[in-house]
C-alpha cells in the first residue's frame, strides 16, 4: 500500500510564500525582453527550487523536504523527454528567449521548471498516485494552455490539438503525476543514489508515455488489414 504524504497543518506559511514569490518573479521575468527574459526565467526557477527546499525544511515536515528534493532530481532528468520531443519527434518547440540552452534546443531553465507543478500536484493529491495523477493532468493542462501565450514553448507538427494544446501530452502528464507519487512513496527514505536512479526511471517512464500517447492519438491508423 502506498503511504500518504504527511503535510503539517502548521508551518506552511513559508512554503506558500515561496509559491507566491514564484508567480510574482515569473511575471516580472516574462515581462522582460530577450535575452534578459530567458536569464530571468532561469533565475526565477532556480531561486524557487532553492527557496522551496529551505521552506520545506523550515516547515518541520520531513516528507515535504524529501518530496522537494526528489522532484528537483526528477526535474533535471525531465530535460530528456523534452529534448526528444523537440529534436527527434518534432512535436515541441522552445523559442529562444535568451540564456543557456541544451544543444540549442531546450532552455536550461526547464531543468528546474517541473518542480512547482509536480510539487503542487503531489501535495494536493496527498501523495496518493490516483489523486496526484488527476491533479497533475489538470495542472499541466493549465500550463499547456498558457505556455504558447507566454512564449515558453509551443506544440508543433501534426499533433491533434484542442484549444492549442497537443492532446497526446495530457494523458502522459497525468501518468507522470502517478509515477512521481508512486516512486516517491517507494524511495523517500532511500539513499541518494537510489533516489537519483528512481528519478531517471520516472522521466524515462514519462518519455515512454509521451511517445506511446503520441503514436496512439496522432499516428496509428487503427486499421485491420489482411
pLDDT tens, residue by residue, 180-218: 999 999 999 999 999 999 999 999 999 999 999 999 999
Q: How many CB atoms lie within 10 A of CB 10?
A: 8
Neighbour-count burial of 177, counting CB atoms closer than 10 A to its CB (0-12 exposed, 13-18 middle, 19+ buried): buried
8 A C-beta contact, residue 44 and residue 26: yes
Q: Is 3 a residue whose pLDDT tops 90?
A: no
- pLDDT tens-digit profile of 16-39? 999 999 999 999 999 999 999 999
- Return the bridge partners of 92, or none: 155
Angle between helices 192-214 and 169-187 (to 10 degrees): 160
Query: Does the predicted model carry a pTM greater than 0.75?
Result: yes
Q: Which helix (H) or strand (E) holds 161?
A: strand 161-162
Q: How many CB atoms lie within 10 A of CB 1?
A: 4
8 A C-beta contact, residue 172 and residue 114: no
Q: Is 2 a residue whose pLDDT tops 70?
A: no
- Return the bridge partners of 106, or none: 102
Separation of alpha carbons 207 and 80, rounded Å:
8
Separation of alpha carbons 87 and 176, rounded Å:
21
- pLDDT tens-digit profile of 78-103? 999 999 999 999 999 999 999 999 99
8 A C-beta contact, residue 134 and residue 175: no
Q: What are the DSSP calls for 65-128, one per residue?
A: HHHHHHHHHHHHHTHHHHHHIIIII--EE----SS-EETTTEETTHHHHTHHHHHHHHHHTTT-
Amino acid at each position: 500500500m502506498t503511504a500518504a504524504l504527511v503535510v503539517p497543518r502548521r508551518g506552511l506559511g513559508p512554503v506558500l510564500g515561496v509559491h507566491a514569490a514564484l508567480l510574482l518573479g515569473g511575471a516580472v521575468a516574462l515581462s522582460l525582453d530577450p535575452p534578459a527574459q530567458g536569464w530571468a526565467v532561469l533565475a526565477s526557477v532556480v531561486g524557487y527550487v532553492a527557496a522551496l527546499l529551505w521552506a520545506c525544511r523550515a516547515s518541520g515536515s520531513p516528507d515535504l523536504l524529501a518530496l522537494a528534493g526528489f522532484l528537483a532530481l526528477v526535474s533535471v532528468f525531465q530535460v530528456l523527454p523534452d529534448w526528444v520531443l523537440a529534436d527527434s519527434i518534432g512535436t515541441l518547440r522552445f523559442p529562444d528567449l535568451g540564456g543557456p540552452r541544451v544543444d540549442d534546443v531546450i532552455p536550461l531553465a526547464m531543468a528546474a521548471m517541473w518542480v512547482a507543478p509536480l510539487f503542487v500536484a503531489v501535495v494536493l493529491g496527498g501523495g496518493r498516485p490516483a489523486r496526484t495523477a488527476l491533479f497533475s493532468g489538470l495542472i499541466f493542462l493549465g500550463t499547456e494552455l498558457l505556455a504558447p501565450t507566454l512564449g515558453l514553448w509551443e506544440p508543433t507538427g501534426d499533433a491533434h490539438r484542442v484549444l492549442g494544446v497537443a492532446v497526446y501530452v495530457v494523458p502522459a502528464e497525468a501518468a507522470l503525476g502517478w509515477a512521481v507519487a508512486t516512486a516517491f512513496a517507494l524511495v523517500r527514505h532511500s539513499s541518494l543514489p537510489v533516489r537519483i536512479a528512481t528519478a531517471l526511471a520516472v522521466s524515462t517512464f514519462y518519455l515512454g508515455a509521451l511517445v506511446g500517447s503520441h503514436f496512439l492519438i496522432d499516428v496509428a491508423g487503427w486499421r485491420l488489414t489482411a
